[in-house]
């Protein structure tokens, strides 16, 4: 798999803490059904990826959608 090579910037915000109603927002989303269809290329990519993974080993996957900062902290 190719390394992430984007030039994404780190997120910056004036927000000083979590949203006042974060727990309620998450609970509301958790009760709803995910209705967006999954693209065929995503299904194929996930199937290919999951064949290479060992379910007995922990794995952190960075989807390269940002700067990788949170993944670096998890690792």
How far is the C-alpha of 28 from the C-alpha of 12, rounded, in Å?
Answer: 27
Per-residue pLDDT 10s for the chain (75 aa) are: 556 666 777 778 888 888 899 999 999 999 998 889 999 999 999 899 889 888 888 888 877 777 777 787 777
Contact 33, 27 (CB under 8 A): no
What does the pLDDT read at residue 65?
77
């Amino acid at each position: 798999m190719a390394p992430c090579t984007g030039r994404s910037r780190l997120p910056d915000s004036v927000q000083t803490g979590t949203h006042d109603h974060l727990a309620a927002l998450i609970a509301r989303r958790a009760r709803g059904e995910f209705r967006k269809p999954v693209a065929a290329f995503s299904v194929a990519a996930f199937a290919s990826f999951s064949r290479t993974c060992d379910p007995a080993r922990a794995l952190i996957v960075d989807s390269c959608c940002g700067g990788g900062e949170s993944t670096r902290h998890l690792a």
